[in-house]
Structure 1
Amino acid sequence: MTILVTGSTGTIGTQVLAFLDGRGVAVRALTRSPETAQFPAGVDAVKGDLSDIDSVRAALDGVTTLFLLAPNAPDELTQAMLTLDAARAAGVKGIVYLSVFKGEAYTDVPHFASKVTVERMIHAAGLPVTILRPAYFIQNDLRQKDALLGASVYAMPIGDKGISMVDIRDIGEAAANEILRRERAEAPLPHATFELVGPDALTAATISALWSDVLGRPIGYAGSDLDGLEQRLKAFGPAWLAYDMRLMMRRYQQDGAVATDAEIGRFTTLLGHAPRSYRDFAEDAAAAWAAA
């Protein structure tokens, strides 16, 4: 009885491992660099990469439950589909797949479209999978520190339609809950899907007002300039990814990504508590920035 966690050293993978820690299960973490990876005690670091299918097959040996997080990469779709098929061939009992909120609507955003295609494979093959669809990560806004503290502006061009951002800790906890539910079941469980969303519909106006309150000084909105966003993102990653993120933000501006009360309610049930609010994050971030 072993759980395999992919994306184990990333933003979400580390949260999943933290919430699995101490839960009485054997955990294996796939990583390109097991010699340097820092995991909770008892986690078995296994060398591998989703782009290397032979390493994936080896890592799946003896695994009963898989957490699948495919990276934002040009071949994300191929990596995810091959891993799912390898898991099926290995006889994995349960899978938890990290997809994306509003993926079925944002068909012109490449990494959204890839995840929706993977969902189609899951349904067509009848795989025993929980699909988790997280919204935009709240903690992405830690990158707003310099703009907020230095220029007194919120610089992410989210527009005025609203986004139900989600805390990464809630994503990790929800994923761990579903992993454990499937791992502890005597037989494969039916398919399930959850929207992982925050309780707030955040807009340029509401988020600027919130930061003004938390920081105790006026915070403005830097505007909805997508050209500037793309150029900033190119400084930290490849051009194709910057363009992909630009397309995502364009759809946020055009259509928003606001959760329904029913979606928030189902997520609350999965977590066992209300999803964390953006204000909770902002107050914690402001306190940490002040202490530093």
Structure 2
Amino acid sequence: MILITGATGTIGSEIVRLLAARGEPVRAVTRNPETADFPGGVEAVRGDYSDITSIAGAMDGADAVFVLGVLGPEGVDADSALVNAASAAGARRIVKLSAIGTGDPGLGLVGTWHLPGEQAVRASGADWTILRPSSFASNTLSWAQALHSHQPVSNLSGSGAQAVVDPRDVSAVAVEALLFPVHAGRLYTLTGPELLTTHDQAAVVAAALGRRVEVADIDEAAARAHMLAAGATPGFADGALAGQAFVRDGGNAVLTDDIRQVLGRPPRAYAEWVADHVSAFSGAAAADDWRSY
């Protein structure tokens, strides 16, 4: 039995789909199993990070567990609790979703958010794999509302470039790590095939839409005020801005070959992801929230 936490999210839902397509026994954890839409044969169970007892019950009998914690300073203990629950349930394999740059002093506090979870995985006694993906291509879905209104998209990273990764590739690597022991004890830094600035990404979207896409540089004070007004905590806002500054200063200009090594093919380009999701940019406006920065 393979248990997936965060099973309705971008990464988790794709992992569930891929495992189910391979005929693997899958248990998907969600706060609302009665409304979740999973492939046939997937066992949906209730689990809430704020109620670790529910998570522990969901993990009973799981052989492998995908751990997706809570991003932000308020959730730094969630990963450890999830890993400990997996260990107590007897899981023999644990795959932890982390983030690129974790542990890098240049990232400041945001670079420590995933460290407790990584440390717990390493100390769990189970076969473990840690995935550190770069910025997701899907993050630019936050541009949908601006594009629908023909407004500029926001940029806090200046001319800093990063190897934007297709989240489908991250999920595919997670599936391999959950299934095969050859990935035990490995830390994979998952990147796309090329370094892109926000302006580069906007040009790719513009080409797909067949029209110009403007980019507006947003200063940190305005971005922080926007995040706080939309419900972000000060700690989260400060961490997110530190991450953007890290990119702006060139700290995330990292390319690896890890996806090719695991999947036997090159990572998908951002342009491919945009082509597959262009309707999201040209359709109805998306809800605006603090994650749009």
Look up the match of 2:270: 278
Structure 1, residues 164-184: CA drift from partner, whole Å, max 9, x if none? 1111111111111211224xx
Partners of 2:233 and 2:189 in 1: how far apart? 29
1:253 is aligned to: 248
Secondary structure at the aligned position of 1:45 is classed as: strand
> Over aligned residue pairs, what C-alpha RMSD do you find?
2.4
Secondary structure of the structure 2 residue equivalent to 1:88: helix
Q: Which residue of 2 aligns with 1:13?
A: 12
- Give the C-alpha shift of residue 288 in structure 1: 5.3
Q: Choose from 230, 233, 236 the match for 2:224.
A: 230
Which sits farther off after the overlay, 117-126 or 162-171? 117-126
Contact 1:161/1:254 (CA < 8 Å) preserved in 2?
Answer: yes
TM norm structure 2: 0.86
* CA distance 1:273–1:289, change in 2 (3 Å): same
Q: How much has 1:59 moved relative to structure 2?
A: 1.4
Does structure 2 conserve the Cα–Cα contact (< 8 Å) formed by 1:106 and 1:251? Answer: no
Contact 2:105–2:111 (8 Å) recurs in 1: yes
8 Å contact from structure 1 (residues 153, 208) kept in 2: no
**Residues 289 and 136 (structure 1), Cα distance of their counterparts in 2 relative to 1, 3 Å cut:** closer
Q: What number of residue pairs does the alignment pair up?
A: 283
Is the Cα contact below 8 Å between 2:110 and 2:242 reproduced in 1?
no
Per-residue CA deviation, residues 144-187 of structure 1 (Å, 9 max, x unaligned), is 123345345332322212111111111111111211224xx8xx
1:95-244 to 2 correspondences below 5 Å: 95-105=94-104, 108-151=107-150, 153-182=152-181, 190-234=184-228, 236-240=230-234, 241-244=236-239
* Matches of 2:151 and 2:274, distance apart in 1: 14
Indicate the SS of the match to 1:96. Answer: strand
Q: Does the 8 A contact of 1:132 with 1:194 survive in 2? A: yes
- Matching of residue 36 in structure 1 with residue 28 in structure 2: no
Asked if structure 2 preserves the Cα contact closer than 8 Å seen for 1:66 and 1:96, the reply is: yes
The alpha-carbon deviation at position 236 of structure 1 amounts to 4.4
Q: Which amino acid aligns with 1:274?
A: P
Distance (Å, rounded) in 2 between the aligned partners of 1:15 and 1:235: 32
Q: Which structure 1 segments of 5+ residues have no match?
A: none
Residue deviations 1:241-271 (CA, integer Å, cap 9, x gap): 33332222122112331223xx2x2211212
1:3·1:65 contact (CA, 8 Å) conserved in 2?
yes
Partner residue of 2:47? 48
Q: Which moved more, 1:118-127 or 1:48-57?
A: 118-127
- Aligned partner of 1:67 in structure 2 is 66
Change (3 A) 1:15 1:190: closer
Distance across 1 between alignment mates of 2:188 and 2:131: 5
Deviations 1:59-92 (A, max 9, x none): 1211100000002254422221122122222221
User: Are the counterparts in 2 of residues 27 and 44 from structure 1 also a CA contact under 8 Å?
Assistant: yes
Moved more, 75-84 or 109-118: 109-118
Which amino acid is the alignment partner of residue 210 of structure 1?
V
Q: Would the alpha carbon gap of residues 170 and 58 (structure 1) be closer, same or farther in structure 2, given more than 3 Å must change?
A: same
- Quote the offset at 1:275 in angstroms: 1.1
Distance 1:253 1:172, change over 3 A: same
> Partners in 1 of 2:150 and 2:105 — Cα distance?
32
1:290 is displaced (CA, Å) by 4.5
Which amino acid letter does the alignment assign opposite residue 248 of structure 1? Answer: G
Structure 1 residues 119-150: Cα deviation after superposition (integer angstroms, max 9, x where no partner): 23333455411101111111110121233453
Equivalent residues of 1:234, 1:242 under 8 A apart? yes
Alignment partners' CA distance in 2, 1:10 and 1:215: 26
Structure-2 change in CA distance of 1:208 and 1:36 (3 Å): closer
Deviations, residues 36-56 of structure 1 (Å, cap 9, x unaligned) = 222111111111223322222
